[in-house]
Amino acid sequence: MTRQQRGTALITGVGRRQSIGATLAVALAEDGWDLALNYWTPYDERIGLEPDADAPGVIAEECRALGATVELLPGDLSDPDAPAALLQTATERLGPVTGLVMSHCESVDSAILDTGLDSWDRHFAVNARASWLLIKAFADRLPVAETPGRAEAHIVALTSDHVAYNLPYGASKGALDRIVIAAAAELADRGVRANVVNPGPVDTGWMNDEVRAWCLRETAAGRLGTAQDTANLVRFLFSEAGSWINGQLLHSDGGFKIG
């Protein structure tokens, strides 16, 4: 079967095999997308996740085996110059980028009384500012759509509604939501479809047994969410069939905490 080429997508946060970003990469490779994969291993090390230094290369090879052309682009998104540089390099190596999936994050637990200024600023730099700058650099390279009303480019960002005792993370993700929803309106003339996906709690290596059991009890669907669940929705949003969904914050979480 001939692989139908869909275009080039930049995916952030693809540093670990357990990450949602890794599963997203494989799913979009299956659907015909060439990929620029961003990661930043020092973040994983800093927050104490299990070392997975070989993961970006392994993920890239899995995508290549599916027929995708893949470029690995390490970059620290707390650096304000990194987003434009990523888009520039991806475009030079792979051609025009028409898909952007933002699955990166800064997430270090703290509350109102113990959050430090450096932590607050880093969360907003990575989760909000970098997302805005990625969207800006993405849109700057898109022409005005030749066919009004047709989906020419796609943006999806992953978010969370976790706030209490994870204050800078939750607050900066709230800012991310507004940025992406604004993009759906402001970039309409470029044929952009922009949506936010809240996958609920997905165990990408951060859950202990107690957290896992609590999340399972609170999920109406009777199981924990997986990275594949999120990938299934993102690939739909990137398809023609999903192009009427725009400017939305979608909860794809199995009914987490609806009771």
CATH code of the domain in which 25 resides: 3.40.50.720
Separation in Å, CA 182 to CA 16, 116, 174: 30, 29, 13
Asked whether residue 84 is assigned to any structural domain, the reply reads yes
Asked whether residue 256 is assigned to any structural domain, the reply reads no
Asked whether residue 121 is assigned to any structural domain, the reply reads yes
Asked whether residue 135 is assigned to any structural domain, the reply reads yes
Rounded Cα–Cα distance for residues 202 and 86 (Å): 27
Q: What is the pLDDT of residue 1?
A: 41
| pTM higher than 0.75 | yes
Q: What is the pLDDT of residue 101?
A: 98
Mean pLDDT, the chain, as a whole number?
A: 93
Choice between 123 and 226, residue whose per-residue pLDDT is larger: 123
Determine the distance from the C-alpha atom of residue 79 to the mean position of all C-alpha atoms in its chain, rounded to a whole number. Answer: 18
For 237, how many CA atoms within 13 A lie in the half-sphere containing its CB? Answer: 28
Q: What is the pLDDT of residue 127?
A: 98
Total domains present in the chain: 1
DSSP bridge pairs for 72 = 37
Q: What is the rounded average pLDDT of the residues 192-217?
A: 88
Asked whether residue 43 is assigned to any structural domain, the reply reads yes
SS3 33: strand
Q: Which residues are CB-contacts of 74 (< 8 A; sequence separation ≥ 6)?
A: 38, 39, 40, 41, 56
Asked whether residue 258 is assigned to any structural domain, the reply reads no
Q: Which domain holds residue 36?
A: 7-251
Q: What is the pLDDT of residue 222?
A: 86
pLDDT at residue 14 greater than cutoff 90: yes
Q: What is the rounded average pLDDT of the residues 73-102?
A: 98
Contact 99/34 with Cβ under 8 angstroms?
no
- pLDDT tens per residue across span 25-66: 999 999 999 999 999 999 988 988 776 779 999 999 999 999
Q: What is the pLDDT of residue 259?
A: 52
Within a 10 A sphere around the Cβ of 15, how many other Cβ atoms? 27
Q: What is the pLDDT of residue 2?
A: 52
Task: Supply the angle between the helices 227-237 and 20-30 in degrees, to the nearest 10.
Answer: 40
Asked whether residue 257 is assigned to any structural domain, the reply reads no
Separation in Å, CA 187 to CA 10, 155, 239: 18, 11, 18
Asked whether residue 1 is assigned to any structural domain, the reply reads no
The H-assigned helical ranges of 141-218 are 167-186, 209-217
